[in-house]
Chain A
């Protein structure tokens, strides 16, 4: 009789412990899923900020910025500097290496794996220049952003409306 009672109590203890460990396991799985979701969200935010940072850096490069009488003009790209730095599409009139496009490795620290182009919208929408293009062998996604800016032609002393398109590979 006494041993039966003890056996019942032991079974009871074992059952409680079993349920307890199941509850703890569920809680751990739940916690790790939340942590995983939070980390993914932080990675996403970081990649978005990185895309904006690259766009801001590209639009303020001294190699491209407009300057008149040593005064730098914000949100403006000099057309002659752009032609000297980047690869024109269609084929450039002047052959030869381009300051930024031909030296992509030197700008990798700034732009990482991305594609930066400037496209003239108005008056003419036919011209496009690729400033930097470094694509990884494999990537999961591309994040796109565009930045309107002025394109200054020093020869004609006129401004055009252009877009800087930044694609960041992640």
Chain B
């Protein structure tokens, strides 16, 4: 009687040990989150390439001036380049169109804005209601991981730059 009881106890201990090993395997192997290095790289490349391409684009309705210059003109309230159109309104509508044909069409979550402070998330007054992602805030649009590209542009005001920020979100 005692011997068989001991043997049953032995089997029970083996089963418990196997269960623990199985639980550890499930936790650390099966449920391990995969690293997404390619996704991080893609998002940061996408943000960088978009801003670089945008700033180099010439606008035929604004005397073929580049968008980098148009942003500066908008900040300085200069409506000459796109006359009779308002420079800031024109930039906003064109960029909305470009964003719609790229990120919206490809279902990429993004948040684009122009600010006067590198750390600031408040848009500059001339380009309000940009952010061009709509009325939502960055936290509402980008709930998960995000990659950001920040491009500074100098202005005629000494020491003052404007910053284009594009966040690509999960």
- Which residues on A are within 8 Å of B, measured CB to CB? 19, 23, 30, 34, 37, 41, 45, 48-49, 52, 74-76, 121-123, 125, 144-150, 156, 158-163
Segment at the A interface, from B37-45, B131-139, B154-162: B37-45
Q: Which of A48, A49, A75, A158 sits near B49, CB closer than 8 Å?
A: A75
Does B20 lie at the interface of the complex (its beta carbon under 8 Å from any beta carbon of A)?
A: no
Classify chain B's interface size.
20 to 34
**CA A142 – CA B3 in complex, angstroms?**
64
Looking at chain B's contact residues, is the secondary structure mostly helix, strand, loop, or mixed? helix
Query: In the complex, what residues of B have CB within 8 A of residue A145's CB?
Result: 42
Query: In the complex, what residues of A have CB within 8 A of residue B106's CB?
Result: 144, 146
**What residue in chain A is nearest B41 (Cβ atoms)?**
A52
B46-73, CB < 8 A from A? 46, 49-50, 52-54, 56-60, 64, 66
Does B29 lie at the interface of the complex (its beta carbon under 8 Å from any beta carbon of A)?
A: yes
A121 and B98 contact, CB distance less than 8 A: yes
- Which residues on B are within 8 Å of A, measured CB to CB? 11, 18, 22, 25, 29-30, 34, 37-39, 41-42, 45-46, 49-50, 52-54, 56-60, 64, 66, 94, 97-98, 101-102, 106
Given A34-B29, A75-B49, A148-B102, A159 and B56 contact (CB-CB distance below 8 Å): yes
A149 and B29 contact, CB distance less than 8 A: no
Report the tally of A-B residue pairs with Cβ distances under 8 A: 72
Looking at chain A's contact residues, is the secondary structure mostly helix, strand, loop, or mixed? strand
A52 and B98 contact, CB distance less than 8 A: no
A149 and B49 contact, CB distance less than 8 A: yes
Distance in angstroms from B101 CB to nearest chain A CB is 5
Query: In the complex, what residues of A have CB within 8 A of residue B49's CB?
Result: 75, 147-149
**CA A166 – CA B54 in complex, angstroms?**
20
Q: Which of A34, A49, A74 sits near B25, CB closer than 8 Å?
A: A34
B101 and A125 contact, CB distance less than 8 A: yes
**CA A123 – CA B94 in complex, angstroms?**
9
B53 and A75 contact, CB distance less than 8 A: yes
B57 and A159 contact, CB distance less than 8 A: yes
